[in-house]
Amino acid sequence: MKENVDHRVPVLIVGGSLVGLCTSLFLGRHGITHMLVEKHAGTSLHPRGRGINVRTMELFRVARVEDRIREAASVLADNHGILQGGSLTGDDQEWLFEQIDPGGALARFSPSTWCLCSQNDIEPVLMSVTPTLGADLRFSTELLSFEQDESGVTALVKNRETGEHSTVRADYLVAADGPRSPVREQLRIGQSGPGDLFHNVSITFRSRALADVIGDKRFIVCYLTKPDADGALLPVDNRERWVFHAPWHPDRGETLEDFTDERCVEHIRRAVGAPDLDVEITGKAPWHAAERVAQRYAAGRVFLAGDSAHEMSPTGAFGSNTGIQDAHNLAWKIAAVLGGAAGPGLLETYEAERLPVARATSERASARSAEHSHPGYEPDPDSAAGTPARGPQSGVLSVAMGYGYGQGAVVGADPELPVVPERMRLCGDPGTRAPHLWLRDPAAGERKSTVDLYERSFVLLSSEGTPWSGAAGPVAKRMNVRLDAYAIGTGPEADLIPEDGGDWAEAHGTTEAGAVLVRPDGFVAWRSAGAVADPESVLYKVLTTVLHRH
């Protein structure tokens, strides 16, 4: 299939939804040109997948799109908690939690915060940015087939508007083509996990009077638990546009056709507790909650990301965030291999790192659905019996950003540590997200977080006056890799000055004589507890190992 190729690109992305567009964004930030094909004519129109956790917002911050996403999400900026009750007119409502970040404790861990931005709002932002970074976005274009060989992947695609067929030759293919991924099916990659958990119909509607019923409560979601009219109510603009997730039971013979406008209106009125509520149905979309994880994340030069790699219960919004973080992990590795900085073996670490995270996160998402009594979800009593009781917000931050890679592109990680710890612990351990610390750049007069240092290069942190910074330049030149070194301190030789008396070495679990090497994705690749006799040789050996340059 190599002959008569119409297009040649380094990377072909299949799927133009949230994860596919984020893959495009992150590859573009690394300077990798690519093509994205999506069979639908445009981005999502239905409000969904809107919880963006703090780690994902960090990635958007570094990629320079955080402000634009927050602007797109501004209408829901004051919505924070999760409410539960029999209805909205009774006196039995209670907050599962009223604030995402009570007391502002999150500021200790990150320069960013959570954000509520629906997929139909965030995708246009990404689409406006990625073409400026080398993306060739082709909507209404469907992948028909693909073949791969030792040097690349050849794909046959079809323009669904013109019927024209063309071939695309790429070094790598990234499949972000959803839970029923045709690419995964062609690769014959199986899945593990309980499978389907529950089914809902997402109903969009207009109601002006509902805002008066709700009053000043600004929730992310309200779980309404009346037995004959349960569901989840989500605001779209807090004024007249809303979404209601109604349980759907196809196992009991229910079909989508059973959800007539009349039935949906009556269900919403009963759930809210307002029999005369004005309700205008504007759309319906079925969705399926499941817990499945692909048994492999790659086959040759083809990689799975997002829902093609894992399906999760929506409670907690872990699925989309995990998918975006898949894309971020994969993008820097593809860029390193294509640029000659790394050996092909680096790409094998994508599965080694991300597959365990997906398994642990999907289990936590299902547990959270049980904790929140998500409408339609009936957990298996046998599996639930051994699950410890948790609070509604317990462990969420650990899942969002505290996870670690026990093996992969790291040196010195502890493979026995749990993938997701019970408590947040970000203190510079290899395989974990590098700690956040506020710094001042005296040359530029700027304030920045350590998180802002990591994107397109490896970064070596050390104290001023040590030989580590001087070793970085020769190693970078010898290996032909980008390695930025920063000496941290308060003296005249410091590149960066900690704010408020911060101790960078203590925060990173090392000493003033030690050093920390951070990957382009912000994860600690390696750490030295103190001085070494030959820092250049040590650093060269570490980078050679991490980048699979053996």
445-456 tens-digit pLDDT: 899 999 999 999
Rounded to whole angstroms, the Cα distance separating 357 from 363 reads 10
Instruction: Supply 45's token pair.
Output: 């129109």
Task: Check if the beta carbon of residue 453 is closer than 8 Å to that of residue 518.
Answer: yes
Query: Would 101 be classed as within a structural domain?
Result: no
Mean pLDDT is lowest, of 158-172, 321-335, 384-398, for: 384-398
pTM summary value = 0.92
Task: Check if the beta carbon of residue 527 is closer than 8 Å to that of residue 521.
Answer: no
Query: Would 88 be classed as within a structural domain?
Result: no
Among candidate residues 290, 321, 356, the one where a domain is terminated: 290
Q: How confident is the model at residue 100 (pLDDT cuts 50, 70, 90)?
A: confident
Say how many domains are in the chain: 3
Q: How confident is the model at residue 112 (pLDDT cuts 50, 70, 90)?
A: very high
pLDDT at 331: 98
Query: Would 99 be classed as within a structural domain?
Result: no
Helix (H, G, I), strand (E, B) or coil at 26: helix
The answer to whether residues 157 and 24 belong to one domain is yes
Among candidate residues 243, 266, 290, the one where a domain is terminated: 290
The answer to whether residues 237 and 270 belong to one domain is yes
Integer CA distances (angstroms), 174 to 6, 14, 138, 402, 434, in order: 19, 6, 15, 26, 27
Q: Mean pLDDT across the stretch 149-173?
A: 97
pLDDT at position 382 over 70 = no
pLDDT at 390: 42
The answer to whether residues 137 and 209 belong to one domain is no
The answer to whether residues 268 and 296 belong to one domain is no
pLDDT at position 368 over 80 = no
Name the nearest CA neighbour of 72 among 125, 140, 108, 36: 125
The answer to whether residues 282 and 232 belong to one domain is yes
228-241 tens-digit pLDDT: 889 999 999 999 99
Q: Mean pLDDT across the stretch 23-49?
A: 90
Domain residues for the domain of 256 are 193-290
Work out the number of other CB atoms within 10 angstroms of the CB of residue 521: 22
Query: Would 453 be classed as within a structural domain?
Result: yes
The answer to whether residues 162 and 281 belong to one domain is no
CATH number, position 208: 3.30.9.10
Query: Would 107 be classed as within a structural domain?
Result: no
The answer to whether residues 355 and 371 belong to one domain is yes
CATH number, position 316: 3.50.50.60
Q: DSSP alpha helices (H): ranges in 86-133? A: 119-129
pLDDT at position 366 over 70 = yes
Name the nearest CA neighbour of 55 among 400, 514, 463, 419: 400
Query: Would 29 be classed as within a structural domain?
Result: yes
The answer to whether residues 72 and 160 belong to one domain is yes
